Amino acid sequence: MAARPGDVLDALARGREALERETLPASIGALFDAAVARHGDRPLWVPVDGGAGLTYRQMAAAVARCTAALHALGVGAGTHVATMLPSVPALAITWMALARLGAVMLPVNTRYTARELDHVLAEGDAELLVVDAAHRGLIERADGGVLPLPRARIVMVGGTASGIAGEWRALLDAAGTVPPLPAVDPDRLMTLQFTSGSTGAPKGCMLPHRYWTMIGRVRALQAPRVDRMLIDMPFHYMGGQWRFLMALYQGATAHVARQPSLTRLIDTLLAHDIQFCSVTPALAKQPLDPRRERLRLTWAGTMALPRELHAPLEERLGGAPVREMYGLTETGAALAMPHAVDWMTGSGSCGLPVPFRRLRIVDADGNEVPVGAAGELWIGGPGMMQGYYGRPDATAEAFHDGWFRTGDLFRRDADGFHTVLGRIKDVIRRSGENISATEVEGVLSTLPEIVEVAAIPVPDDMRGEEVKVCLALRPGLSAADLPPERVLDHCRERLARFKLPRYIAYLPELPKTPSGKIAKQALRPPHEDLRLGSFDVVDGVWR
């Protein structure tokens, strides 16, 4: 006999209360040590793309050597260490070593340009950089540019360069022992996670150990335990990191891919007998794979799933439950659709508040709106972001009496299920990446031919949204004076590839609000094809 919704909701409420009374590990290092003690010889890291894996115990031995090596380089409590590494064991090993030392990790997007890397290093006061040899060009710059930290404070993984501290593996092999380390407080800063948000260049979110131990535990309890999970989200994002912590809580084996692949997803799930993975709405539009019935997924997680694609997505995963999540870098997990809630498929809801999080939906004056009404989602609770590093102004703007203002429009039903209706903030979301329109605009505004620029999202079936830039040139100039390829070349030097505009439009002037600001809504008239009148960079044609 199927459980009644009311009984399921009552059980979920009791589980939430129990988890909030639970004593979580004091730090990421303590979580890792406990997992090693329980699951020592079980495989922890299996590279999907080939190469040797590591058991829990083998990774622990590597973490001990890395801790000693970093300590010998002067890394200790509060030291800021940037990591620019792909999803390889060296990243997780370095991360756990930094956690043990009480140091602060600054994960750097591996697709960043020199300008973007320099911003993170300078903005985050990085004192050491651990970088993959594939990014040697960002260290040894042909244009004479200089990193904002000494070369002697660079550790390279898989290679070396003149004047640097050394090669990562060699430093580990030569490492001695670590002196006894003090316990790490749950509220000690662990990560400066840089996020574009909606206000220009990336800002460093100050995330304590408590943030990470909470999000890993919450995700681990969203559905039944699994033995094998796929991590194909890069570790410089919070998504790759919480999945790894989820694996530690469950004693699971993390099958790690360097990057997600929609076309090879079914192959990977079958080859490794995966029980949990994350999927995007784009999978729902792929042809049905006849092998899907052989999948043994317990469940799959997703975000921003259109309601009409929910059932087709589950069909392509052999009927496995697909469950929504919602969260922000600043807050961690906030909402989740529990595995046991099977009557909300296709509802468009992203679930119920997770443990440790309190939610409000408010109007423009900060007053709670009635059930069913739309308003901005505010999030509160322990273990959230402690602020934007070095940006008290941005921190003050983001919080109101301890509540984080998401800028997202939500409504809540009578049972507490929340549905996101849209975004108030000026962010373009392309293939799961948050792109700050302000940052794109700032880069293009440095071109002398451009008087004004506005970056807006264009709906896209595969990527969710694409970036369109609307340009107003100096009087007397036309597209012939600043052709699309020059615009794109300018962006390529200053923006990661995922931030590059796909559509470029030239307008005599940009529409304005009564106060003189650019009226972006006027550039996005409803029910119109926003591609028309622009140059499509991907297809190389004028629309």
Using a 10 angstrom Cβ sphere, with 0-12 exposed, 13-18 middle and 19 or more buried, the burial of residue 201 is middle
Q: State percent of the chain over pLDDT 90.
A: 80
Q: What pLDDT is recorded for position 526? A: 84
Q: What pLDDT is recorded for position 515? A: 57
**d(C-alpha 47, C-alpha 420), whole Å:** 35
Average pLDDT over residues 5-34: 95
**For residue 391, is pLDDT > 80?**
yes
Which region, left, alpha or beta, applies to residue 131 given φ > 0 means left and ψ of -120 to 50 means alpha?
Answer: beta
Q: Tally Cβ neighbours within 10 Å of residue 35.
A: 23
**For residue 208, is pLDDT > 70?**
yes
Question: How confident is the model over 271-325, as pLDDT tens digits?
Answer: 999 999 999 888 988 889 999 999 999 999 999 888 888 999 999 999 999 999 9
Higher pLDDT, 384 or 3: 384
- Token pair 């004056």 is at which residue? 365
Helix segments in 380-538, DSSP class H? 392-398, 437-444, 484-492
**d(C-alpha 300, C-alpha 45), whole Å:** 20
Instruction: Domain 261-423: give its CATH superfamily.
Output: ANL, N-terminal domain (3.40.50.12780)
Residues in the chain: 543
**Which pair of structure tokens corresponds to residue 529?**
């094809």
Question: How confident is the model over 330-381, as pLDDT tens digits?
Answer: 999 999 999 999 999 999 999 999 999 999 999 989 999 999 999 999 999 9
**Which pair of structure tokens corresponds to residue 315?**
């069909």
CB 47 within 8 A of CB 256: yes
**For residue 198, is pLDDT > 70?**
no
User: What is the average pLDDT value for the chain, to the nearest integer?
Assistant: 93
CATH 3.40.50.12780 spans which residues of the chain?
24-208, 261-423
CATH 3.30.300.30 spans which residues of the chain?
427-542
CB 296 within 8 A of CB 273: yes
**For residue 1, is pLDDT > 60?**
no
Question: How confident is the model over 355-365, as pLDDT tens digits?
Answer: 999 999 999 89
CB 266 within 8 A of CB 213: no
CATH number of 427-542: 3.30.300.30
Q: E strands within 138-294?
A: 154-157, 166-167, 189-195, 203-208, 228-231, 253-256, 276-278
**d(C-alpha 158, C-alpha 371), whole Å:** 55
Kindly list the distances between the CA atom of residue 389 and the CA atoms of 227, 270, 540, in Å, as whole numbers in the listed order: 37, 43, 41
Strand partners for 436: 427
Average pLDDT over residues 149-163: 95
Average pLDDT over residues 534-543: 95
Residue (of 453, 234, 111) closest to 120 by Cα position: 111
CATH class of domain segment(s) 24-208: alpha beta
Helix 209-220 and helix 28-39, axial crossing angle in degrees, nearest 10: 40
Confidence of residue 480 (pLDDT cuts 50, 70, 90): very high
